[in-house]
């Protein structure tokens, strides 16, 4: 399957990185002058690379032979029976390193080699992007440093060990909230000082232009593959496509292929944490408050002085107070519907998919499953019998077992005894 | 002529560089920052930069970030920053606010500019926004004759330096190193060529002063930079002085005055 990285949609950014035009004001490049040359060079290098058939062919071969792509599109029959709609899972959890993230880093690392740089840096929340970056660095023979919030290194110790085994230096960041946003700040500081020989493998479709576009172009294979697979395997496009949204790379990777199919509903699900109304969440789009964070104007969790408010989610990978600017535009334009899923709803879905289909999802992906469960009755009502929901199963849940053990009490004597308290396990039986 | 330009012109008339001193507002407290900044003015700073504490600074190194976090933990608000500006500007020294962009967006660019002007502020230094993405600020500043201080870096292309200096008013801030704020043992060998390039590419006839920052911590380094720059900008070294004397306010102010005098002598020893 050939990548479609050079194709465009009606919802792309202009040459300055504005989504919806400068008047709408999402995206742009709010960065220190010290980095402007590097960002401009990166943009030019990407435009050049994606138009080069040799680069595209090499990228395709790496994805196929190394990353195990295209990932399958799986008809989850048992989950379908439960929801009353046909559920298709885009199995990004089966990719090398266990998530959609491998696409992004292999693309950016291949570009890094093309640009003649020798070192990569990355930030990571859950650790998936860090592991993927360390993997890509090992594959391409690049030095690698990964910044990770101290809170996240503590809750994702297994991924820290994996990164170190792969040869990366992992730097815990204690400042601020010790989470993803602080890791991004630290990575940007490193980049200011090392930009002549270092590429920043941005982990999501956010940040200053060209990163939102660059990352989107690279990961859009998720949706491109799923679109072809849906038609070939099931005879048509799905009625709805669904993904979890933190920074938004897995979601934009899925959504892009369907943006110009106006008949396809698109739903993004943010991390609702303890519940949007409690204020302890990471539902940035739902909060609907524009600002500038990490180089782009987008929706930001912030107080009345513009100080970033810490986000909260049981999923480290969704625990981010900003969101990719294209998602902000897709929300404002009305093309995509964004709502939130609470920690509890996500963990219930986590348990349900595990027991119902034998697939342990990443907690990020469990938000998408929970979202699909929520919208299934409406989708069925709108589209009738045979309605189809395509869910991006963006990653596998191995990395989240520590959280699951604690949440469900799986390590206690009589595992699952707490299922009364956390109903997911009980309901999934 | 904007107020920063006046201070630069005065220094030039005395055949020396201007000394520009930075501290974040609200560090160690709002009143404490006013006292510290006033001490720096009395001991020889020609221009003052007041940092607006922000939760996610990109250009700040560990020293300034530590101070900024203390200020935020102490509950400093944007309105406090204007209060500090008002007190320092009352000394007669040009007083600018150095700030990340989001707090300005949040308040509203026009409203922020007006409040700054009402407080007697000379203008803004904006480390994370460049003129090509700052059209709204440029309009608001032009309407009030506020200084617009954008940054140039060793990595800047000639084209970008030309664009940036065309939009600056007051002075242009040349970052001497590729890196974040913080005192360094040696001065940068990137600074002099950058200043030369910036002066060459500044619009003809404007005589835009070039201030050099990032890394200066003593009089000897200030003298080195004063040999080719119009202004020497010092931040982390002042902050470090306060951090090192946090348990003794009087000792902190004394050390601050002593450092300022050393630096002021440095800019006169070009």
Is there a single domain that holds both residue A32 and residue A78?
Answer: no
The count of C-alpha atoms lying within 13 angstroms of the C-alpha of A337, restricted to the half-sphere facing its C-beta, is: 12
Pick the CATH number of B4-268 from 2.40.110.10, 3.50.50.60, 3.20.20.70, 3.60.20.10: 3.20.20.70
Q: Which of A36, A290, A307 sits opposite B55 (nearest CB)?
A: A307
pLDDT attached to residue A184: 87
The catalytic residues of B are 49, 60
Per the structure, the complete domain to which residue A288 belongs is given by: 73-96+220-408
Residue B51, SS3? strand
DSSP type of residue B114 = H
Chain B partners within 8 Å of A34 (Cβ): 151, 153-156, 175, 178
Q: Is position A24 within any domain?
A: yes
Is there a single domain that holds both residue A78 and residue A158?
Answer: no
pLDDT attached to residue A413: 60
Q: Which of A90, A117, A123, A181 is catalytic?
A: A123
Is there a single domain that holds both residue A161 and residue A145?
Answer: yes
pLDDT attached to residue A249: 97
Q: How far apart are the first and last CA of chain B?
A: 26
* pLDDT, one tens digit for every residue, chain B (270 residues): 568 999 999 999 999 999 999 999 999 999 999 999 999 999 999 999 999 999 988 878 888 888 999 999 999 999 999 999 999 999 999 999 999 999 999 999 999 999 999 999 999 999 999 999 999 999 999 999 999 999 999 999 999 999 999 999 999 999 987 776 666 666 678 899 999 999 999 998 889 999 998 788 999 999 999 999 999 999 999 999 999 998 999 999 999 999 999 999 999 997
**Edge-to-edge strand order for the sheet containing A26-27?**
A18-19, A26-27, A296-299, A290-293
pLDDT attached to residue A156: 81
Chain B partners within 8 Å of A290 (Cβ): 105
Decide: A216 and A227 in contact? Cβ < 8 Å.
no
Q: Which residues of chain A have pLDDT under 50?
A: 417-421, 429
A374: CATH: 3.40.50.1100
Q: Please state the ipTM of this predicted complex.
A: 0.95
pLDDT attached to residue A420: 45
State the Rg of chain A over Cα: 20
pLDDT attached to residue B177: 79
Q: B180 to chain A: nearest residue by CA? A: A189
Q: Which two tokens stand for residue A77?
A: 């029959």
Domain boundary residue among A211, A231, A259?
A: A211
Chain B partners within 8 Å of A195 (Cβ): 155, 178
Closest CA to A399 of A340, A350, A344, A348: A350
Rounded-to-integer distance, Cα B201 and Cα A272, Å: 51
pTM, 2 dp: 0.95
Decide: B23 and B239 in contact? Cβ < 8 Å.
yes
pLDDT attached to residue B184: 63
Is there a single domain that holds both residue A87 and residue A144?
Answer: no
CB contact under 8 Å between B180 and A193, yes or no, is yes
How many domains does chain A fold into?
2
Is there a single domain that holds both residue A86 and residue A23?
Answer: no
């Amino acid at each position: 399957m050939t990548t479609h990285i050079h194709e465009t949609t009606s919802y792309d950014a202009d040459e300055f990185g504005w989504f919806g035009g400068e008047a709408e004001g999402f995206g742009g490049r709010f960065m220190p002058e010290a980095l402007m040359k590097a960002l401009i060079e990166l943009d030019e290098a990407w435009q050049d690379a994606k138009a080069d058939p040799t680069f595209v062919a090499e990228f395709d071969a790496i994805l196929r032979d190394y990353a195990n792509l295209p990932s399958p599109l799986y008809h989850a029959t048992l989950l379908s029976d439960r929801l009353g709609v046909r559920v298709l899972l885009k199995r990004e959890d089966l990719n090398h390193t266990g998530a959609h993230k491998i696409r992004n880093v292999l693309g950016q690392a291949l570009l890094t080699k093309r640009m003649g740089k020798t070192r990569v840096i990355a930030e990571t929340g859950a650790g998936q992007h860090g592991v993927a970056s360390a993997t890509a660095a090992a594959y391409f023979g690049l030095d690698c440093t990964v910044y990770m919030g101290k809170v996240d290194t503590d809750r994702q110790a297994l991924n820290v060990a994996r990164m170190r085994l792969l040869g990366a230096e992992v730097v815990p960041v204690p400042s601020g909230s010790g989470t993803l946003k602080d890791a991004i700040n630290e990575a940007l500081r490193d980049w200011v000082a090392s930009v002549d020989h270092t590429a920043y493998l941005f982990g999501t479709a956010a940040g200053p232009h060209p990163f939102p576009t660059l990352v989107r172009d690279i990961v859009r294979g998720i949706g491109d593959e799923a679109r072809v697979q849906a038609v070939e395997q099931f005879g048509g496009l799905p009625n709805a496509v669904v993904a979890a949204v933190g920074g938004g790379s897995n979601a934009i990777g899925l959504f892009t292929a369907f943006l110009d199919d106006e008949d396809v509903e698109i739903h993004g699900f943010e991390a609702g944490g303890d519940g949007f109304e409690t204020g302890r969440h990471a539902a940035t789009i739902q909060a609907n408050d524009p600002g500038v964070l990490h180089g782009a104007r987008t929706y930001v969790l912030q107080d009345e002085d513009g100080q970033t408010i810490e986000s909260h989610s049981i999923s480290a990978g969704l625990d981010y107070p900003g969101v990719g600017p294209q998602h902000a535009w897709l929300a404002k334009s009305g093309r995509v519907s964004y709502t939130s899923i609470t920690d509890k709803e996500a963990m219930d879905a986590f348990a349900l998919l595990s027991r119902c289909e034998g697939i342990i999802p990443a907690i990020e992906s469990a938000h998408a499953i929970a979202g699909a469960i929520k919208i299934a009755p409406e989708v069925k009502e709108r589209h009738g019998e045979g309605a189809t929901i395509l869910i991006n199963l963006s990653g596998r849940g191995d990395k989240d077992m520590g959280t699951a053990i604690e949440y469900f009490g799986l390590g206690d004597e009589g595992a699952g005894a707490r299922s009364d308290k956390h109903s997911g396990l009980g309901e999934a039986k | 002529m904007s107020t920063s330009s006046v201070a630069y012109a005065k220094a030039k008339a005395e055949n020396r560089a201007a000394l520009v001193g930075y501290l974040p507002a609200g560090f160690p407290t709002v009143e404490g920052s006013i006292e510290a900044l006033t001490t720096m003015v009395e001991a020889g700073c020609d221009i003052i930069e007041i940092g607006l504490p922000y939760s996610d600074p990109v250009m700040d190194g560990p020293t300034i970030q530590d101070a900024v976090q203390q200020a935020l933990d102490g509950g400093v608000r944007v309105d406090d920053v204007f209060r500090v500006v008002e007190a320092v500007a009352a000394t007669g020294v040009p007083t600018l606010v150095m700030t990340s962009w989001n707090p300005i967006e949040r308040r509203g660019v026009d409203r922020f500019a007006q409040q700054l002007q009402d407080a007697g502020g000379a203008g803004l230094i904006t480390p994370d926004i460049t003129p090509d993405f700052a059209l709204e600020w440029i309009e608001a500043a032009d309407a009030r004759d506020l200084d617009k201080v954008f940054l140039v870096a060793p990595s800047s292309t000639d084209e970008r330096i030309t664009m940036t200096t065309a939009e600056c008013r007051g002075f242009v801030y040349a970052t001497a190193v590729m890196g974040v704020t913080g005192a360094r043992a040696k001065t940068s060998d990137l600074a002099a060529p950058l200043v030369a390039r910036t002066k060459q590419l500044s619009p003809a006839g404007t005589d835009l002063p070039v201030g050099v920052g990032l890394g200066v911590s003593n009089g000897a380094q200030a003298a080195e930079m004063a040999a080719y720059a119009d202004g020497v900008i010092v931040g982390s070294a002042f902050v470090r002085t306060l951090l090192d004397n946090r348990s003794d306010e009087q000792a902190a102010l004394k050390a601050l005055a002593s450092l300022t005098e050393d630096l002021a002598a440095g800019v006169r020893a070009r």
